[in-house]
Structure formats: C-alpha cells, structure tokens
Chain A
Amino acid sequence: MTEGVARLAKGGRIDRARPLRFRFAGKLYIGYAGDTLASALLANGIHLVARSFKYHRPRGILTAGAEEPNALLRITRGDGRVDPNTRATTLPLFNDLDAAPQNCRPGLRFDLQAINGLLGPLFPAGFYYKTFMWPASFWKRFYEPRIRAAAGLGEAPRQPDPDRYLHRFAHCEVLIAGGGPAGIAAALAATRAGARVILAEEQPQFGGWLTGEGALRARIDGEAPDAWLEAALAELRAAGNCRLLPRTSVFGCYDHNLVGLLEDVADHKFAPAAGEPRHRLWKVRAARVVIATGMTERPLVFPANDRPGIMMAGAAATYLHRHAVLPGREIVIVTNNDSVYGLAGDFVAAGARVTLADARREIPDSIALPARNRGVELLPGTLPAGSEGRLRVRQIHLRSRDAGTTLPVPRACDLVLVSGGWSPNLALFAQARGELRWDAELAAFRPGPAHWPMCCAGGANGTRRLGEAIADGLRAGAAAAAAAGFEKPAPEPPSVEEGPAWTVEPLWCVPGCSSRERGEAFVDFQHDVTARDLGLALREGYESIEHVKRYTTTGMGTDQGKLGNLNALGIVAGEKGVPVPAVGVTTFRQPWTPVPFGALVGANRGPLFDPVRRTPMHAWAERAGAVFEDVGQWKRARYFPREGEDMQAAVQREAKAVRASCGMLDASTLGKIDIRGPDAAEFLNRVYTNSWAKLAVGACRYGLMLGEDGMVFDDGVTARLGEDHFHMTTTTGGAARVLAWLENWLQTEWPELRVWCTSVTEQWATMTVTGPKAREVLRPLVEDVDLGRDAFPHMTFRSGRVAGVPARIFRISFTGELSFEVNVPAGYGLHVWEALLEAGAPHGLTVYGTETMHLLRAEKGYIIVGQDTDGTVTPFDLGMGWIVSKKKGDFIGRRSLFRSGMRRSDRKQLVGLLTEDPALVLEEGAQIVEDPRQPLPMRMIGHVTSSYRSPNLGRSIALAMVRGGRERSGQRLWVPRLDGPAIPVEVTSPVFYDPEGTRLHV
C-alpha cells in the first residue's frame, strides 16, 4: 500500500492531504480526494481492469468519462450495496471503495473464456443465428444456457437495496445541461437576465475542459482560465436565481421539455449519511433548454486497437492535468487531427517520451513546430497498423501511409493515445427530436433545427475554440432567457487568447483493418464488434444502419455507442460508397447514462408503492381482528374471525346472523359521485340504460352502465336528492374509472350539458344495517326520519340525523333483507359506527365483511360487476332486459346492444347452479360442459362466476354464465375439476333465497 507509481509529485486537482484507501480485485491501494476510481487505478499503474463481453479480451481504461465502454467494475460497499457495471471513470474515489473486475473466471489476468477469442473466427457477428438449431431441444437445455452464461457483464445484486431515493419536481426558465465553459456562460447570461436557471453538470466540479488541459491552453482576459471560472461560479452562486447542480446527469429530454436529471447525493461516498438519499431524481419542466454537453473524442479503428494501455488522448489529458497521473512513459499518440499536439508536449514535460503518428501527410508548421520544439517526435503520414502485448500494450506497429506495401515498424511503448476527432454530444438534442446536420469540416454531426424550445451551445454546437464556446454560451443563455420573457442583451464575451481551431481529416477505419492478420479492429469495444463484422453484415444484406446495429450489436452496450457509433457509420458509408450522412443514424434514446431503477422509483416502494385507502372505520376493524382484502387501492374487511374460526366458519356465522337478526357492513368504499346541474337527469338518461327523467326527488333507482360495446361496465344505485342533484354510487373498484368515463363524455361529446360531477367517495362514511331487526337497531338513533315501512319504503332515501350527526339514509338492499345504508360525513363515521354497534348489541348485531356480503347477495342472485360479468355480458345476458329502456331514446351502448350478434340465444346467460351433492362447493372460474367424457379440446358452454357454501340454504350454491342458460333450467351439466372427477350440477334460477322478495318490503 504505497503512493501510486504513476502519480506525479505535483500538479493536478487532487488533495494530496486526503489520501483514500481502496481495494481493487482484493488488493489495497491508495488514491486521493479528487480522484476517480479510474484515475486512482492508473496512478497505481493498473491498466488491465476488465474483460470484454464476447471474446473476453483483456481491456483497460479507455476514457475518462460517461462514454467508457471497458472499465465497468463491480462496486461493493457492505451488505446490499452492490453495483455491477459501474464506470470507474465517473465514480469519484471514496474511502473503503471495493472494486472488482467482472466477466472473468478465474481472474482478470487469466480468464478461461478468453478461449472465445481464439475461436473468434467461428464467432463472427450474428453467428448464433446460423447454428445451434439441431436438435431442437438442445437450444434451451444446452446452447442457450452457455450463451447466457458467457454473455451479460456483472452479477446482479442478490440483496434488497438498503438505500433511499427521492424525487423532486422543479420549474425553471432555462435549464442548462453541461457545466463546461459554454454552459457556465449560458448560465451567466440567463441569470443576469433574471430568469430562473438550473445548471447541471455530471462531474463533481464545474468547468469541464478548463479543469484539465484547457487550463494550460488558453488565457481569459489575460489571466489563467481559473480566474474567470471562479468568478463566474461565484456570481452564479450568489445570484439567487441560479441553481447549480454538480454530480447531476441530465439523462433524458422528454416531451415538451420535461427533463430528467439524476443527482448523485451520496453515491460518491461509502454510504449515505442518516436520512440522506443515494440519488435525487429531478423532473424539471423548463421553458427553454440549453444543451452544452461538449464533445466526445472518437477512437481510431485499427487492428488490435483495444489492448490495455491504449487510451483516448483526451482522457489521458484529464488524467495528467486533473489527476496528476502519468499513465505511461513511452507514449505513442496516433491521430488524424490537431487536438493532441499540445498534449503531446505536456507529456514530454511530465517526463515521458512521446512519438506522435499523424495520419495526415501535411502538418502545418504552426502546429508541428511547437510540438517538435517541446521534444515530441512527429511522424506525419503515419498510420497505426497493429499492436502487441497480452495484458498491456508493449508495442505498436506503425506504417507509412504512402508506402502501402512496406511492412509496419514495431515501436515499443507502454501507452498508446488515440484521437480520431471529436463529435458534438447530441444525444439529448436528438432525444428531443432535434435534427442532425452533417458538418464535413468537423467530420461529425452538428445540431440542425430543434423541434422543441431548446438549442445547443459550445462544443455541442460544433464550436472548437474556447472563446467561441463562451461567446456561443452567452448568446444561447441570453436568447433562452429572452424567449422565456427575460430580455437582456447577451453580455460581452471575454477576450480569450488561444491557438487556432483544430482541424481533422476523417479516418473512419485505418486501411487494412478489415483483415485479421494483425488482429481485429474494434469499433464497439464493449461488444467486441469489429470493422470486419460491419462488413459482414453489409455483405449479408443487413444494409440499413438499424440492421447493422442489431445484427452486429454495435452501439448496444451500456455506453450506447457514445464512442463507436460515428466510426461505425463512417465504415458503413465507406463500404457502401456513400457519404456518411446518407447512412443515417440509429435512434438516440433516453437515458444518456444508465439510471438506477431505484432512482426512478423514488420513495414509491413498499407501503408507498400505491396509496392505501382506508375507511373511517378501518382502525376499529383492525382492533376487531378483521382480515382485509385489497380491492383496488382500498383495504376492505373481508371477514371478522372469532377465536378459532377460519374464513369459512366466520362467514357462515356472519351470514346466518344477518338473516336471523341483523348485521352491519362498512360500505364506505363504494364509489360516490355527486352530480349536479340542470341537465343532470338527461345526463343520467344517457349514461344508464334505464330512464331517469321521472325519478321523484327522494327516490333511488338501480342503474346499469354500458360501455360503447353494449357490455355491462358498472352498476349502482343513484338517488335523486333534488331536482338538479343526484348522488350516484358505483362499484368500489370502478369509482375512478366511472368518474373518468363521465367526464370524458361531458367534456368531449356533450359539452352542451350543464352537469358537474364531483367524487365524494371519501367524504361519506357508509354503513349498511341489514336484517329483519335493522329497523329496531336504527330507530333509537334516528331523529327526524320515520323509519316505518310505508313512510320510508324500499328504494327511497331520507335526510335526517343519526346518532346526532347529519345523515343520508338510503333504504336499498344488497342482501335481500330490510336494509338501511347510512351515510354520514366521513369524520363522524367511527362515531356513528360505534353508536350503531351499541344500539345493535341487544339485537345481536353482527359485523360482517365483504366475503359475507358476496355470499348474501349470491343467495339473492344479485350480480357483482367484474365477478359475474367480465366485459362480455349484456343486460339481456343477465336476465335484466327490464332495465333497458325501449322508449327513452339513445344511451351509451344502445347501438351496440341491438346488433345481431348480441341477441343470439346461444349467448352466455346468468343462471344458478346446484351441485347434486349439496356439500360440494364448485371452484369459481371452473368451466361447464355437457359431457365430461369428451376428448380434449372439450366444448365448453359456460363457467362458474360465484360459488359459496350457503348457511341459510344449508347447501352450496353457485352463479354461472352458461350458453343459452335460461333455456336449460333443470338440465344436468358437468363441471370438470383439475384434481378429480367432474361434478354434476343442475341449472336453476339464479335467485336462491326469497325469490318473491317479501323480506325486502317488511
């Protein structure tokens, strides 16, 4: 455990006073605050960190950013905090960080599956489509398990995640993605204009290029760029209308400038502090978005371009200047552009020997001389032609561009830096449907017209010089603020001294890289997609760039082609003999960098996964030992077991008690919609099948709602509280759907109707008092209402007071017994419930749950929408033709209801079933056949929808939907079982109990 061998004694933006201990592959190392895991590894001389996806080739750290395809490690920080596929290049180092390589067995240095590399010739792109087909059963049993085991990268976590995640919503006028010079400039301009600004930067520090190589390459207003940077950041921090979000990745631009940001709150530490989330997901609605995401450097595609120790030049600049790491001492730089010339000299100054092989034949003196003067060996017109070194590059083959036949010359080295040019990062812009335009001078795509209110600035906009980037940012920020209503001229750009803009000569693929002689030339490093694979795909007719991508899997890795896609396009264009833009691009999708599921989920886990709705009497039911069931979001008491009772026993007791004396049910979950307006009755006429115009004030009516397809959609009792005022009830599960349905019709089809619907489900507590003694139970508590049989008949409602509380009492019944549904304001629910319990005690009042409710209504043949109906059932199928008005005119579903197929006599109809053996209870969902001995497939004529053991009838009963069922009354049918012989049943009326309904009218 010593100071890293490759760490420079001074320089960089690390804090040498804060050493950090970390582990890689089980060994301890030291890094510093300010390091990333990647820079700390490199400082310790470690290049080899991973094995590739397909060939398990040794791989090193290739980049210093979000585009990293290779250095994906498994990070462990105690129980449950295990993260596979974590980019070492963007993970800040923290104390006790434990990183391990993935996808290699037994280890990184010797990986058995590297045999795939030797068998590589057998495994070109898409090889798996061409083989593994015989014998058929071997695919699942033999081939696929092996392919699966070889694929994948890290191991998924095995423990639940102990961390928290939070969401935050925000609005702003100007959101800026990227806190480099252009982003900061945009923020300055927009902030000065008075707009609310959010500036998000994925790295821990703002400044981008200025915090690395840029600090040496330019002077702003005559000073080092740090001065400008610090002043700008200080101004933004002090402004009050600018929020700076470091460590925050703008991962997605969604419709209408809804922008997703992932803030790393504690992921850069071993563990979050108490109460701290790991990530905060921001959902920002921005009037304007400025994309200042800079550029990404492209690799060069040459044979064996993937060995550890081969690195992007810009990444090496970051490691050298920001982290004071010298990743190699014998350096060869291969390039096709000017952007590396300054860096080459920097490495010489840091003590390395540097050879710069430039593919271009002519290098202007203005570029070449300063580099040569600093001791760089410059080889113009020179191409990389291969490399050697098993676990780390040890030599590179260089050859002259003009002498096509001469053999490449090996050159010893321990670091190869690659630069194939720079591409604007347009992923966010393209996610938002922004168009891309080819720029030949840049040899890359630039932003074209935007479709949403956004623009690009700085490198993302194709600027190549600092001064232009700052000016572009200032302009973009001022324009964005102005467009959002904060007009102020853009600030004067500072004067910037810097070199000329770099130029590039595109080189998508080094000539000769399509032969295997000197090794494969990789385009997509993570997926081991080679230039030859791309050629193969094209030869085989996979010509669309989408086909090339899908056939070869190029760009489908965790980096989503950030590094390799443009080279792939260039190679495809070359093979096809068309310009690059003619090839098109594959679709850019969210997210920019992978986002943990947990962060997207936020706090919506466990009990907060879906809101729990409880009735005002819930706590009482809990104390009473109720067993609850989920009905939609509601918790409903299903039954109230006493000591030693199971559900069956409890339900039998509850059901008997209701019919013998009296029972009480918490029915508060029933949907309730308050409907008002002069056209309310007309509206009900249109949404229900029956007529509502003549319903008297104070009366109730049962209604069926149909969908446009004529099928039963919901049901419930609606009361007329006043001429223009109704109280509608719906099923518990259907409440929200019905309200949305009503609103949809009112708002889109019948805007002329003067009707207003308000959900009042939670405003009323509802308790059903039912049974022959219901009146006696209720009477002592009721003021102002005559409960008498004739004064308060069935299907009417009265307002009054119950237990001193204003109440609406509905005399309606779902049990077939004398019933009162008492509705009181929810806050009084428990009070009235307890008063009723007390008043009912002398009468043997029994509280019952939904299961008993289901049983009691089944005894009466009352349907439950959603249980006895399933969206394919008409009122006629239910034997409820009486509820379909023939006179009133149109209603929703009417046209469908009278189609020919809807009146066929062989439609399934609601019937009762009685098993021949009264002790047998049918299984709900079981099918019904005429002959159980027929071979499969059997002809099924119906199914059991509801089935119970009825204590009041002393036997089992069932409801069923049976083809032509009403004609089959008395027929013997069969119900096959999964585990036993079929059960013979007799078709009956669905009303088993009190068919005359005398008990309703007592």
Chain B
Amino acid sequence: MRRYSIFTLARNALTGHRDWPRAWRSPEPRSRYRVVIVGGGGHGLATAYYLAKEHGIRDLAVLEKRWLGGGNTGRNTTIIRSNYLHDESAALYDHALRLWAGLSRELNFNVMYSDRGVMMLAHNPHDVQIFKRHIHANRLNGIDNEWLTPAEAKAYCPPLSIDRTARYPVAGAALQRRGGVARHDAVAWGYARAADSLGVDIIQNCEVTAIRREGDRVTGIETTRGSIAVEKLGIVVAGHSSILAEMAGFRLPIESYPLQALVSEPVKPIFPCVVMSNTVHAYISQSDKGDLVIGAGTDQYVSYSQRGGIQVIEHTLEAIVELFPIFSRMRMMRQWAGIVDVTPDRSPIIGRTPVRGLYINCGWGTGGFKATPGSGHLFAWTIARDEPHPVNAPFDLDRFASGRLIDEAAAAAVAH
C-alpha cells in the first residue's frame, strides 16, 4: 500500500495526480477461499481487515452485491457514542469507541472522526431519571457521560432553545464528550484499502444467491459471479440478514424497518456537536461540508423500501425547529432512508449460528455505524477462533432462546 500523507499529496501534485494507485484492486472471484465475508459495508470490510491483520487470514474475500458502503454505511447520520446503559452494551460500544480514536492512523485513511460530543436531551422527570441511571452506570463502567443543566446544555450547543415555555422544555442533558461523528464513506473505503493491501479480495457487484451446506456445515456459496467453496462464511448484511439466513436454513429474530434521514443545504459552522432527543424524536449534527444532518425515528411499519416519506420527515423537522428555532428557514436538500435490522432486545447478534462455519453479525438496528471498528474486530476474532471474544459473548443468537436479553430499548423505557 502506498501511504497517504501531505508529502505524497504534494509529490503527486507535481505529476497532476496521475500516478495514484488504486485504493483497492478489483479481482475476479476465485473458486475457493478459506473465509468469505458477505456484505461490503463498514462492518464487513472491518471484519476482513482485522481477520487479515490480527489473525493472519489472507485467503479471504469480501463480496458486495452492489458497491462498497452502499447500504447503511452510506446512509446513516454517523453518530458515534458509547454511553449505553447495560454493562454488556457499554463494553461493546466502548470497544469500538477506543478503536475510532486511532482509526485514521491505523488505516492511513482520514475517516474524520471528530469527538465533538454527543448530547442527549431530557424533557421530563422520567427522562431525567433514565439519563441519571445511564450516567451513574456509565461512570462506574469507566465511560464518560455527564449531566448538564439546561443552561450548560445551551452553552455547549448555542443554537439550542431552552425556553421554559416550550411544549417540551429541555430539562437537562447527558453529554458524552468522547462521542462525535465520522465520515461514513471514508470508513468503508479506508477499511477496504487497508484490507486489500493485506491481500483481501474485495469483490463488488457480486450477489450471493445460495448457501451450500453439507450436514450442519457450510461448504460454499453460489453467487452471480460463480460458485465459491468456503471453509468459513461470515454474514454482515444488516437489513437483508434474514434473507441470507433463510438461504442457510435458519431463522433470525430480525425485523427490518426503514429509518429516514435528511440533510439541509450547507451553511457555515453553526452547530458544534451532536444533539439527540428521544422524547421528541430527532437527532442532528453538522457535517464537515456544512450540511445539517438530521435523523428521524424508525418508520412504524416493516419494509425494505429505502425511500423517504413525507410525514416522518415533517415530524422530525417539527422537533428540530422546536429545539432549534433558528433553523426554520434552513432548507431540506435531500432525504433518504436506510433499512435497519432490529432484534427483539435492540442489541446486535454477533456470533456462531446453528450452521457450523457460518457466523452472523447483524441486528444493529439504528446504531450500527458507531460500532463499525469494534464490530469488525470482534467478529474477526469470533470467525478466526470459532468462539466469541469475551466482549461479544453475551451477544449470541442463543439469548433469544434463553431469555438472557440485553435490552437497550428498555433504556428508553416508557412514560408512566
């Protein structure tokens, strides 16, 4: 891999940037790999990278049915945080957060991770109680998360309205300063480039059409570009996980919902952090390009439609304008949707499956982007050693049979 730096940039400027090498090769798929990862999103590419780097597995391919990072990696609102309630979740997401901090240098690709702080707003006594519970639990888990009064929240994010007469006035906020955002496409590209340089074959426009088994063991896959024999198969396809699992002959407790988002026209820096409000259903940050990046809650109905609708966007913008009245005249430039794969306890599944040699990583719901490095790191461990890493051990598929759930949705609970 030819390294990127200001010096190589300057040197290439002299030759009109004609000599930059490909970020990754575009090989034809071989007929056999030791490991195949299905899904060329951030999680799949990260898995391949860590398999190659930390476990020495280079006989490895990533298959992507369309283009790298074209699913939820390229559609999410890029929020990164680790202030989750349950010990298992906090450990999982903080594992990722620690990797984020050094990721640009690790990959030699600037993923623009910016720890601008993620502030979650409380609007009523119930919210306050829940956030306090998070803050206490996070602190004792060694994870930063602090309580802000409304005035402190406003100081941290000046566009915020803390008007006491608002319909749902801000009652305070929980702030994780290490939280932030990153450039989503760059994460996929950076992992792809780094994995490619370690010998991983990254194959786009290659859709898996069948999974072959012998007994309870996976032996290969059929793709739109031919058959491939495998020893181990990792599935990391988010919204379409259930479809792949069905090909392999098992079922997943996953429902897929559209999750909508939008961006405004770009403006000069106005919004310094990430703000989320579960009570009024909105989250917002500003990208490096200047767009306000705004996310909604999931749609009410299951669907595979990656299109935006109008009523969800209206409801989201109502909340945004309520919280940030100065944005009323800003304009929506683009809206879209991704498909999120939701488990009954809103926590992911990372682990083995009923089919030997077949591993699954899915169910990240609305929160997958933030976990990308950690997810890949742990999934690579699980595939390489055929056993989960201690951090992802609780996130196995069995928990839905045993009832040993890790319910992060419960963290938002219900109003009394």
What residues make up the interface of B, taking CB atoms closer than 8 Å to A?
4-6, 8-10, 13-14, 16-18, 20-26, 66-68, 70, 74, 87, 101-102, 104-105, 108-110, 112-116, 123-126, 129-137, 139-142, 147, 166-168, 183, 185-186, 189-190, 204, 264-270, 280, 286, 288-290, 305, 307-310, 313-314, 317-322, 325-336, 344-345, 399, 401-405, 407, 409-411, 413-416
Question: Quick check: B403 and A157 within 8 Å, CB to CB?
Answer: no
Beyond A591-B335, A709-B403, A871-B410, 14 extra complex contacts between A and B, CB < 8 Å: A85-B267, A129-B189, A131-B4, A149-B269, A163-B329, A255-B305, A260-B310, A536-B17, A543-B204, A596-B332, A597-B329, A597-B331, A605-B322, A927-B137
Contacts of B402 in A (CB 8 A): 899-901
Complex Cα distance A871/B413, Å?
Answer: 6
Contacts of A936 in B (CB 8 A): 140-142
Interface centre among A155, A515, A591, A714 (most CB of B within 10 A): A591
Contacts of B322 in A (CB 8 A): 605-606, 609
Question: Quick check: B310 and A283 within 8 Å, CB to CB?
Answer: yes
B331 to chain A, nearest CB (A): 3
- B136 partner, pick from A127, A553, A927, beta carbons under 8 A: A927
Contacts of B18 in A (CB 8 A): 539
Complex Cα distance A896/B404, Å?
Answer: 10
Q: Which 6 A-B pairs have the closest CB atoms?
A: A733-B415, A152-B290, A871-B410, A925-B133, A925-B132, A899-B403
Residue ID in chain B nearest A128 by CB atoms: B110
Question: Quick check: A937 and B140 within 8 Å, CB to CB?
Answer: yes
Contacts of B14 in A (CB 8 A): 121
Q: Mark A526-555, 1 if CB is under 8 A from B, else 0.
A: 000000100010011111101100110100
Question: Quick check: B310 and A153 within 8 Å, CB to CB?
Answer: no
Question: Quick check: B314 and A602 within 8 Å, CB to CB?
Answer: yes
Contacts of A145 in B (CB 8 A): 269
Complex Cα distance A890/B389, Å?
Answer: 38
Contacts of B24 in A (CB 8 A): 541
Contacts of A867 in B (CB 8 A): 126, 129, 416
A90-148 residues at the B interface, CB under 8 angstroms: 103, 121-122, 124, 127-134, 136, 139-140, 144-145, 147-148
Complex Cα distance A779/B214, Å?
Answer: 79
Complex Cα distance A866/B411, Å?
Answer: 10
Question: Quick check: B110 and A597 within 8 Å, CB to CB?
Answer: no
A223 to chain B, nearest CB (A): 41
Residue ID in chain A nearest B124 by CB atoms: A630
Residue ID in chain A nearest B332 by CB atoms: A595
Complex Cα distance A866/B132, Å?
Answer: 15
A157 to chain B, nearest CB (A): 5
Residue ID in chain B nearest A148 by CB atoms: B269
- B112 partner, pick from A139, A252, A258, A602, beta carbons under 8 A: A139
Q: A870 interface residue, CB < 8 Å from B?
A: yes
Residue ID in chain A nearest B190 by CB atoms: A129
Question: Quick check: B105 and A136 within 8 Å, CB to CB?
Answer: yes
A575 to chain B, nearest CB (A): 13
Residues A871 and B288 in contact in the complex (CB < 8 Å), given A129-B110, A558-B333, A612-B167: no
29 contacts between A and B (CB under 8 A): A128-B288, A129-B110, A129-B190, A131-B5, A133-B108, A134-B5, A140-B114, A144-B288, A147-B288, A153-B290, A156-B270, A156-B327, A161-B325, A260-B310, A540-B23, A596-B329, A597-B327, A630-B168, A631-B415, A731-B415, A732-B415, A733-B414, A734-B414, A870-B407, A924-B133, A925-B132, A927-B133, A937-B142, A978-B139
Question: Quick check: B16 and A896 within 8 Å, CB to CB?
Answer: no
Complex Cα distance A377/B159, Å?
Answer: 57
Residues A943 and B67 in contact in the complex (CB < 8 Å), given A148-B269, A252-B310, A597-B331: no
B200 to chain A, nearest CB (A): 14
Residue ID in chain A nearest B414 by CB atoms: A866
A200 to chain B, nearest CB (A): 16
Q: A194 interface residue, CB < 8 Å from B?
A: no
Question: Quick check: A901 and B331 within 8 Å, CB to CB?
Answer: no
Question: Quick check: A600 and B314 within 8 Å, CB to CB?
Answer: yes
Complex Cα distance A740/B333, Å?
Answer: 35
- A598 partner, pick from B139, B270, B329, beta carbons under 8 A: B329
Question: Quick check: A82 and B329 within 8 Å, CB to CB?
Answer: yes
Complex Cα distance A103/B135, Å?
Answer: 41
Residue ID in chain B nearest A252 by CB atoms: B310
Question: Quick check: A601 and B318 within 8 Å, CB to CB?
Answer: yes
Question: Quick check: A737 and B132 within 8 Å, CB to CB?
Answer: no
B102 to chain A, nearest CB (A): 7
Complex Cα distance A121/B68, Å?
Answer: 28
Complex Cα distance A591/B308, Å?
Answer: 10
Question: Quick check: A85 and B416 within 8 Å, CB to CB?
Answer: no
Q: A976 interface residue, CB < 8 Å from B?
A: yes
